[in-house]
Structure 1
Amino acid sequence: MEGQFRIDANRRTLFVGLVCVDILNLLPKYPEEDIGHRCIDYYKQRGGNASNSSTVFSLLGGNAEFFGTLADDTELSFIQRDFEKFGVIFKNSIIISEKTCPLSIVILSLESHTRTVLHTNKDLPELTLDGFVKNINLNSSEYGWIHFEGRDNAHEIARMLSYIKEFNKVNEIHIFTSLEAEKLRIAPYLDELDMWKLPDIMFVSKDFARNQGYTSMEQAVTSYYKKVKTGAVVICAWGEMGAAAMSDQSGLVTSPAFPPSEILDTCGAGDTFIGATLFALGQGKALQKAIEYGCKVAGSKCGVQGFQNLTLLKDVFSQFQLSS
């Protein structure tokens, strides 16, 4: 399937979903309850699955845009400056007044290499089809790929994917679509709304698959592949085991993980995998090569604290140039 998902370099990949602010606290080990603890370090960064994936995609040299709702509060300028810093377009995002920016408190343990996320989203509305149609002009030929982070607005995501599907039926230039199933809350809607059959690529996380009873990435993709539409692809990253994928052309393919010499921060590794894999597929790489590339870039991210150090991330990712 080499070249199946290649898109022109001048066409953007749109990442649809959440952007929030992350406050990350680095501790020697996971804290005990009801006593004080001193952190080794802390830092603040722009977060959210789709937001992180757009950052990685841009750092790798891709033409990335983020689309979501933004709260017009004290964090708005920080988020906008950070998108600009990483070269991610966000001009079409919807700014909503009198709402609060979502916030994540992340506990990073050096001992166990775990990240524990405490997320709060007070009142920021999710995206709707109406907002998508009003702000994203598919007829402009700007977009080659649209990736959706699976969130609580599953009904609206299904409508947006269906809208793109209908657009593709009557237009010569095809827009590829992908959907991430990470949050367990979306699970019932994938079947209820028949969302498995809407995207060209379905990304399924390890935690999502394990919650549904699967014990390996190979087992997960083989089973989920039966649910997707003809010609679609299922991809599942499985942490330290690597990733697996399946398509009608490639069959089952796998990649090992590529951990760094020292694991510093696994927060955002899954988002990194998605951003890097989409970049490789958009460059025309075969499915097995694309997930291997995703694993390499995600592994390198685990050796870097956060996403806030632009220069360091560029240096780390620069070693993974896509071969011809």
Structure 2
Amino acid sequence: MSSDYALPIPQNRVIVGFGGVGVDLLATVPTFPKPDSKNRTTDLKVQGGGNTGNALTCAARLGLKPRIISKIANDPQGRALVEELEAEGIDTSFMVISKEGTTPFSYIIIDNQTKTRTCIFTEGYPKMIPEDLPRPRLLSALDGAKLAYFDVRMPETALLIAHEAFNRKIPILVDVERPREGLDELLPLTDYAWTRASTIPRALVSIMLRLPRLKFVIVTLGKNGCIMLEQLADESPLLEEIDIDSDLESLSKSKDDSTMPTIIASSITRFTAEGIGSVCGRLSIGTAEKIPESEIIDTTGAGDAFVGAILYAICANFDPRAMLPFASYVAAANCKALGARSGLPYRTDPYLVSVFAPRW
């Protein structure tokens, strides 16, 4: 397809991602098996996985040039994983490959009836340590990067890379999937944060006050969409102060019945949270695509797809309010195929082109 019918290529599209990669063994079953029973699969797929591997694959399909830093073993699974990443256009030259050990892998059981998935993760070994990444190699990986992404795994090495990115003024996006070792040390260096965990608006204010570098925090809520709080300069002493819980409730009432992702945003306001403080910014609600039950295949990697789209949106200088519908669509597309990568859209996707390309 002609480049005239594709998302534009950002001027600087090099990003660096550090964190988890692995192999997913995905099995769909009519219903989740009961203990001490036997069951037959209705579909089976072996595919690359891991938060960082999935997010960078999404970003690559949207037009970025990701470099990945991680560690695998020189086993059949590891070699296949590298081949798959390279086929997507991801630079794997900074990966560490152990002569011995095991590449991480997950068994994933998808219940066709409930549309849920159960993951059983096996860690690889040996784990990556800072000594695996000599300074000249680290500097080469970060050279010219627009953005750095972390999923907060292998914390000692993550902090080594993050501090260097911070010193080189490379913005950092962190996936706060759940509390992990090293997260408290990593967050003060962070420009953008994203989390799957359900939260309350008061918590968003608290996060902003504790981490003044943050430009925005996004909380994803599955089929209920997402919430974003942007931090903006307080340029007017006349800004109205509004309780953030009340504002979110008011925005929620404005949701429409659209089947495709939309956004409802507040005006620039000073949001207050009793007993916590206040921040100046904009609160936004992003709705999720309403996917017919018959079209939902597998939710594995939906969150990674969302963050991969956010990586692209930052590099492409999206208005923050345009990011949420964009990322929600990409995440929804990934739920319509088996595995964390099969349904990821490419930059030539007709809907992405028709809705988002004209914004440039």
CA distance in 2, matches of 1:185, 1:10: 31
- Compared CA separation, residues 140 and 53, structure 1 to 2 (3 A): closer
Contact 1:93–1:135, Cα closer than 8 Å, also in 2? no
- 1:280 matched to 2:263? The reply is no
Question: In the alignment, which residue of structure 2 is the partner of 1:320?
Answer: 352
Contact 1:129–1:157, Cα closer than 8 Å, also in 2? no
- Compared CA separation, residues 18 and 202, structure 1 to 2 (3 A): same
Q: How do residues 91-240 of structure 1 correspond to structure 2 at under 5 angstroms? A: 91-128=93-130, 131=133, 133-137=135-139, 141-151=143-153, 153-168=154-169, 175-186=170-181, 189-191=182-184, 193=185, 195-206=186-197, 210=198, 214=199, 216=200, 218-240=201-223
Question: In the alignment, which residue of structure 1 is the partner of 2:278?
Answer: none
The alpha carbon displacement at 1:49 in A equals 0.2
Question: In the alignment, which residue of structure 2 is the partner of 1:242?
Answer: 225
CA distance in 2, matches of 1:42, 1:220: 40
- Compared CA separation, residues 79 and 295, structure 1 to 2 (3 A): same
**CA-to-aligned-CA distance 1:134-158 (integer Å, 9 cap, x gap):** 423259743111101112x324323
CA distance in 2, matches of 1:316, 1:302: 19
CA distance in 1, matches of 2:56, 2:103: 19
Contact 1:145–1:176, Cα closer than 8 Å, also in 2? yes
CA distance in 2, matches of 1:263, 1:316: 22
CA distance in 2, matches of 1:289, 1:313: 17
1:61 aligns with one of 57, 60, 63: 63
Contact 1:198–1:229, Cα closer than 8 Å, also in 2? no
CA distance in 1, matches of 2:142, 2:310: 25
- 1:268 matched to 2:295? The reply is no
- Compared CA separation, residues 260 and 136, structure 1 to 2 (3 A): farther
Contact 2:189–2:213, Cα closer than 8 Å, also in 1? no
The alpha carbon displacement at 1:313 in A equals 4.4
CA distance in 2, matches of 1:14, 1:122: 22
| Superposition CA RMSD, Å | 2.4
Question: In the alignment, which residue of structure 2 is the partner of 1:253?
Answer: 284
The alpha carbon displacement at 1:97 in A equals 1.3
Unaligned runs of 5+ in 1: 1-6, 169-174
CA distance in 2, matches of 1:279, 1:86: 15
The alpha carbon displacement at 1:180 in A equals 1.1
CA distance in 2, matches of 1:281, 1:190: 22
Contact 1:270–1:298, Cα closer than 8 Å, also in 2? yes
Contact 1:196–1:227, Cα closer than 8 Å, also in 2? no
CA distance in 2, matches of 1:129, 1:254: 43
CA distance in 2, matches of 1:265, 1:274: 17
CA distance in 2, matches of 1:49, 1:90: 16
The alpha carbon displacement at 1:308 in A equals 5.6
CA distance in 1, matches of 2:83, 2:163: 33
- Compared CA separation, residues 132 and 269, structure 1 to 2 (3 A): farther
1:26 aligns with one of 13, 25, 28: 28
SS in 1 for 2:150: strand
CA distance in 1, matches of 2:132, 2:67: 19
SS in 2 for 1:87: coil
- Compared CA separation, residues 190 and 78, structure 1 to 2 (3 A): closer
SS in 2 for 1:291: helix
Q: Which moved more, 1:55-64 or 1:44-53?
A: 55-64
CA distance in 1, matches of 2:347, 2:316: 21
CA distance in 2, matches of 1:150, 1:276: 19
CA distance in 2, matches of 1:259, 1:56: 21
TM-score (norm 1): 0.84
TM-score (norm 2): 0.76
CA distance in 2, matches of 1:139, 1:43: 32
Contact 1:68–1:127, Cα closer than 8 Å, also in 2? no
CA distance in 1, matches of 2:106, 2:83: 19
Q: Which has the larger radius of gyration?
A: 2
SS in 1 for 2:47: strand
- Compared CA separation, residues 299 and 143, structure 1 to 2 (3 A): same
CA distance in 2, matches of 1:91, 1:155: 21
SS in 2 for 1:161: helix
Contact 1:22–1:47, Cα closer than 8 Å, also in 2? yes
The alpha carbon displacement at 1:130 in A equals 6.2
CA distance in 1, matches of 2:117, 2:136: 37
CA distance in 2, matches of 1:320, 1:129: 42
- Compared CA separation, residues 102 and 64, structure 1 to 2 (3 A): same
Letter in 2 for 1:319: Y
SS in 2 for 1:178: strand
Contact 2:302–2:340, Cα closer than 8 Å, also in 1? no
SS in 2 for 1:225: helix
